[in-house]
Structure 1
Amino acid sequence: MDVIAYKIDDKIVDTQTYKAENLSGGAEIYYENSADGLDIIRHSCAHLMAQAITELYGNVQFFVGPAIEDGFYYDMRVKKPNGESLKEEDLAVIEKKMKELIDAKQDLVKQYSTWDKVSAKYAKDDLKQEVLKRIPQGEVTLYSQGEWEDICRGPHVPNTKYLRWFKLTRIAGAYLGGDEKREMLTRIYGTAFADKESLNEHLRILEEAKKRDHRKLGEQMKFFSFDETIGAGLPIWLPNGSRLRTRLEHKLYYALRKRGYEPVRGPEILKSEAWKISGHYANYKENMYFTQIDEQEYGIKPMNCVGHIKVYQSEARSYRDLPLKFCEYGVVHRHEKSGVLHGLFRVREFTQDDAHLFVMPSQIKENVYEILDFVDKIMKAFGFHYEMEISTKPAKAVGSDEVWEVATKALKDALDEKGLKYGIDEGGGAFYGPKIDIKITDALKRKWQCGTVQIDFNLPERFGLEYTDENNEKKQPVMIHRAILGSFERFIGILLEHTAGELPFWLAHTQVAIIPIAESHNAYAKEIEAALLDLGADSKIFNKNETLNKRIRTAEKEHIPMLIVLGDAEVEGRKVAIRDRVKREQSEASLEQFYELIKSKINEVTF
């Protein structure tokens, strides 16, 4: 297998650099689908795409073209000879040219220059000047293949022959440097692998992801909508989606109460002075919304922690009171850039399943352990596999090394005792303490960051939180920030794509579709509807003046898991004809048997 780079002291250098700088040693990186190998292949494929676009359309200006988690992209300023912008159908033309360049087996050549020389060379290219702003004065490297070159630090494959298994996936707009106040560039995305089979499997997953797109399913199932007259990134929850959310909230609420959590609620707008004390004003201001009231500045909350701190401060606390656990389905607002908004995955208003625990240092471990047990039950209920990562003390941090060591050890011990594997992100903790990130894997093997458990010494100190210990001395509690789902919006979006809209019976927006064959069967349908509601199940009567088959199809399109059809025989015999649309099975049951079935299915999951 060919070597395409080396790893020396955790730094990847390609074969071009290795030879040019007369390096030695290091671990070999092969032409294969390893994480390091794919990064090199994909970044090189971005350059290949840029070369093809230049040869096709002439005067093109390029900004940046990095490898990303599942592929690559390049931002550019480009027009076709007729002045038109590139469209999706042009991707096939670009791919064809890329394949020609692959067949030409061109070497990717690294060149060394200085910042001043490169700046002079691209004096008339404002996008290159933008790139140079990110590079310190001194040596600058470029890579070329054929007549095409770009400023780049690499690493790259040695030759275009290594880039055979690629696919351009979509075209989009992207603000220059991610700044929505600046020019919109053209961005083309693609992916690449070291072999045909891996590429085909990835493309299969992409096609399946399109079918499962939560935005499409949300519209089809009448869950939510977006309206530009309301504002971008502000979801409107329709009755079906609101029923689903309420079911999830209720199920979580009882699980929280059983674990000793007390419901609280903080205001959604606080004086800026509170955000200055917390540190949000200095460190998070650009993500917040502000307004003036009575000539004082107020900030809409991006997080719920300050409100919960004020609940803690509402009375004197003793060590006998701890741990104190406060929970809130807290609505928060964050100023996300319009270019990153994406369905329910990235919005400007969302609701967190938030909680804060106030504990003594000696209670950290046991409470983290309880949280992880809670996480495990919830993730198993939804069929998610998950993994954990511990982020440790960063260079800039508050609190003593001793306290950090206690907190970090508590996190590690809690994971070890559960037999859970976890990664370590050295120095990746928040400035106020170490944390555990919970990453779930969906049915398409995509990873999503959802919950988090954070140990915080900073806010209790900033707000002067105290409790009286057994010696009647004042001590500072530790604050544990905890969210399991992350936000209801994002989690529901993930769940829709994970299940392809086939939500579990207990969570479905509507458990039963009631379909009376004729108008004379409507009274029986309404009786069943009322009884189901008493059992905690939602149902919907489909009795429009349409054919029976059309009403059945309409109910199936809404992904309602169970259908019952009512005719003369059902009314007279006090029974129902059941269709399980997930299992594709039909059966018959008396009303009593049907209600018992519903009760068992609606209560089959507990957290």
Structure 2
Amino acid sequence: MAIIHIELPDGSVKDIAAGSTPYHVALSIGEGLARQAIAAKFDGHLVDMSFPLETSGGLTLITLNSPEALGLIRHSCAHLMAQAVKDLYGDDVQVTIGPAIDNGFYYDFFSEKKIFAPEDFEKIEKKMAELAKADLPITREEMLSSDAIQMFGAMGETYKVELIEDLGVESISLYRQGDFVDLCRGPHLPRTGLLKAFKLTSVAGAYWRGSEKNAMLQRIYATAFSDKKQLKLHLERLEEAKKRDHRKLGRELDLFSFNEEAGAGLVIWHPKGALLRTLIEDFERKEHLKRGYDIVMGPQILKTELWKTSGHYDNYRENMYFTEIDEQSYGIKPMNCLAHMLIYKSKIRSYRDLPQRYFELGTVHRHEKSGVLHGLLRVRGFTQDDAHIICRPDQIDAEVKGVMKFVQDVAGIFGFEYCMELSTRPEKAIGSDEDWERATNALRSALDDSGLPYEINEGDGAFYGPKIDVKLKDALDRKWQCATIQCDFTLPERFDLNYVGADGEKHRPVMLHRVILGSIERFIGVLIEHYTGNFPLWISPVQAVVVNVTDAQAEYVQKVESQLREAGIRVQADLRNEKLGFKIREAQMNKIPYMLVVGDRELAEGKVAPRFRDGTSLDPMTVDEFVSYVEDQTKRFH
């Protein structure tokens, strides 16, 4: 019998018979560990506890407390949900796919009838609990693809048949639990009894394989955790997220809307929302000018030939819109970089002229599928705080660090923590291996020098270069992709950008693509949810509302409003014939930072009584004193 050597994380080695499983290894260490282990990692790959170990290698046992456990729990719970649905609805549904995702999992079902609604969740959860309590073994088996196609075909599971046919492999893996069988790579938990804490959260439509040409499926979203305490905390966070939903608050605060008559994914900004956006954009312009950027503007459409030169036509065409004018094809810009390169090429540049930093609040349009559109967070028309830094290769390090400092400063101003990732070359890319290596090393070096932690995100770079992605953490500790820094050796080559060096010869510059907030629309959506609509004073569309107690103060209120407006305070007057308490509550609901109450005493003394939206109050003060107070509170942002 062949003996293999299994190295454990502590460096110890177990000599076992070839064909033994991780369960046998766990059992050799202790019965308690054998009961607790739910999967293993063999030479870096996740495997089932029943996986046959045929060669020597490193083994790490996974328990419910391991970082990898949550994904396994959720993937196995997706199968449990599918089994429950099949038990309840039988031939009325077909199963398709059910992966684990961030914060949970989902499973897509096909049915000729609309059979799922939130009121069905309790019934499905009850069946899932029954199947979990039965503690069914979850077993893996290999099957010839031809046999699997025949089996699923006989079951009426045509989507599984299609998946297997498209795989084009000789054999596939299946997982069984009780009378339920599913096509799956695995791994999975050893048995259903380990699934103790799960909750169905929502139902939605989803096209099969994400294509609008395919059938509409019914998707059930759910989540699962290792214990009920963690599940309870997560559900509480979900409830808080509902309160913060920017789509709900956008309607309540009258910031923006979407209208099918205008088109899906196209934002209509209302006065308060447009003002909020303008305040953020004005802040951005000032911050960029401080840091040596030049403000530029490019056209909304450019000839299609330019998009072919840049590589967008071959690598990004499905996300673009095209139009034709005088028999000439144009692409509506999805990015701003082309016009910026044309500005650079408009005259000869010396090495002394570099870096050139071009900043544009550029509106772009991208063809997003309707199924992924989501309020302000995913739209078809949006504005980026886009900049392109064209520099010498020896300037890359300093410029990248400058952008990172810019991101750090702005994140601090808006009250966000953040984390960073280095995204490397994707499968679909342009440019030489050498240029990609130079660009990636340049970004990695800047990150290493910063001393800030970062992760590697393999294969998620832009098609023209690697990038540093900055993810903001909001008040609920959710991560949002906003800032990015991309290092590009390829487009300067394609557009023949050059500069005259100290030696009098032409040299090729490097281009850094970067955004700080990213999409203004997306950032505002994140901002609304981060603050629950309670914007800081400096960007609140309305900073104060002046309210009278009786009609006797109406004229004075109008005078106060005029004085404040002239002083640059964004103010409204509320002279409605309503009770004071009603006016104050409504102002609080509208998230207005200050209510300036005016009664007979304030009228007599020429003052206002400021009250903050959280209910706290300041001593009565003159209008000039309130102006000074607001200026003091907001001066760091101007």
1:443 corresponds to which residue? 475
Distance 2:610 2:301 in 1: 50
**TM-score, length basis structure 2:** 0.91
1:360 corresponds to which residue? 392
1:425 corresponds to which residue? 457
Question: Aligned-pair RMSD on alpha carbons?
Answer: 1.9
Q: Is the 8 A contact 1:6 1:26 kept in 2?
A: no
1:174 corresponds to which residue? 206
Distance 1:62 1:110 in 2: 18
1:484 corresponds to which residue? 516
Please give the per-residue CA displacement for 1:30-83, whole angstroms capped at 9, x wherever unaligned.
33254421111111100000111111111121110111111111101247xxx6
Distance 1:132 1:399 in 2: 35
Q: Is the 8 A contact 1:345 1:490 kept in 2?
A: yes
Distance 2:56 2:176 in 1: 24
Distance 1:267 1:523 in 2: 49
Instruction: For 1:63, give the aligned amino acid.
Output: T
Distance 2:173 2:431 in 1: 42
2:41 corresponds to which residue? 7
Offset, 1:371: 0.8
Structure 1 residues 602, 533: closer, same or farther in 2, change over 3 A?
farther
Q: Is the 8 A contact 2:387 2:513 kept in 1?
A: yes
Q: Secondary structure at the match of 1:585?
A: coil
Shifted more, 29-38 versus 296-305: the winner is 29-38
Residue 117 (structure 1) aligned to one of 147, 162, 169? 147
Offset, 1:500: 1.2
Q: Is the 8 A contact 1:290 1:299 kept in 2?
A: yes
Please give the per-residue CA displacement for 1:279-314, whole angstroms capped at 9, x wherever unaligned.
110011111111111112111111111111111122
Distance 1:137 1:402 in 2: 35
Residue 91 (structure 1) aligned to one of 111, 117, 121? 121
Q: Secondary structure at the match of 1:453?
A: strand
- Correspondence 1:284-295 to 2 at 5 A: 284-295=316-327
Offset, 1:172: 1.0
Offset, 1:385: 0.9
Offset, 1:426: 4.1
Structure 1 residues 269, 403: closer, same or farther in 2, change over 3 A?
closer
1:549 corresponds to which residue? 581
Q: Is the 8 A contact 1:392 1:429 kept in 2?
A: yes
Instruction: For 2:48, give the aligned amino acid.
Output: D
Identity of aligned residues (%): 50
Q: Is the 8 A contact 2:397 2:446 kept in 1?
A: yes
Structure 1 residues 383, 330: closer, same or farther in 2, change over 3 A?
same
Instruction: For 2:560, give the aligned amino acid.
Output: I
Q: Secondary structure at the match of 1:603?
A: helix
Structure 1 residues 340, 428: closer, same or farther in 2, change over 3 A?
closer
2:349 corresponds to which residue? 317
Please give the per-residue CA displacement for 1:104-144, whole angstroms capped at 9, x wherever unaligned.
11001212111111112223432122322442321111111
Q: Is the 8 A contact 2:363 2:383 kept in 1?
A: yes
1:600 corresponds to which residue? 632
Structure 2: give runs of 5+ residues left out of the alignment. Answer: 1-32
2:18 corresponds to which residue? none
Distance 2:510 2:547 in 1: 56
Please give the per-residue CA displacement for 1:377-411, whole angstroms capped at 9, x wherever unaligned.
11111111111111234577655666555543432
1:62 corresponds to which residue? 95
Shifted more, 545-554 versus 54-63: the winner is 545-554
Distance 1:475 1:533 in 2: 54
Distance 2:336 2:355 in 1: 18
1:102 aligns with 2:135: no
2:23 corresponds to which residue? none
Q: Is the 8 A contact 1:64 1:131 kept in 2?
A: no
Q: Is the 8 A contact 1:78 1:86 kept in 2?
A: no
Q: Secondary structure at the match of 1:241?
A: helix
Distance 2:491 2:561 in 1: 50
Instruction: Compare relative contact order (CA 8 Å, sep 6+) and give the higher one, 1 or 2.
Output: 1
1:43 corresponds to which residue? 75
1:263 corresponds to which residue? 295
Q: Secondary structure at the match of 2:518?
A: coil
Instruction: For 1:287, give the aligned amino acid.
Output: N
Distance 2:522 2:621 in 1: 38
Q: Secondary structure at the match of 1:249?
A: helix
Q: Is the 8 A contact 2:96 2:109 kept in 1?
A: yes
Distance 1:70 1:35 in 2: 14
Distance 2:200 2:40 in 1: 28
Offset, 1:484: 1.1
1:382 corresponds to which residue? 414
Structure 1 residues 192, 317: closer, same or farther in 2, change over 3 A?
same
Instruction: For 1:41, give the aligned amino acid.
Output: I
Residue 162 (structure 1) aligned to one of 169, 194, 209? 194
Residue 211 (structure 1) aligned to one of 240, 243, 264? 243
Aligned length: 601
1:516 aligns with 2:548: yes
1:151 aligns with 2:183: yes
**TM-score, length basis structure 1:** 0.95
Q: Secondary structure at the match of 2:98?
A: coil
Q: Is the 8 A contact 2:95 2:157 kept in 1?
A: no
Q: Secondary structure at the match of 1:106?
A: coil
Q: Is the 8 A contact 2:206 2:216 kept in 1?
A: yes
Residue 410 (structure 1) aligned to one of 423, 442, 445? 442
- Correspondence 1:322-341 to 2 at 5 A: 322-341=354-373
Structure 1 residues 29, 516: closer, same or farther in 2, change over 3 A?
farther
Instruction: For 1:351, give the aligned amino acid.
Output: T
Q: Is the 8 A contact 2:517 2:523 kept in 1?
A: yes
1:73 corresponds to which residue? 106
Structure 1 residues 314, 519: closer, same or farther in 2, change over 3 A?
farther
Residue 220 (structure 2) aligned to one of 185, 188, 194? 188
Structure 1 residues 306, 583: closer, same or farther in 2, change over 3 A?
farther
Q: Is the 8 A contact 2:376 2:521 kept in 1?
A: yes
Distance 1:451 1:596 in 2: 34
Q: Is the 8 A contact 1:33 1:193 kept in 2?
A: no
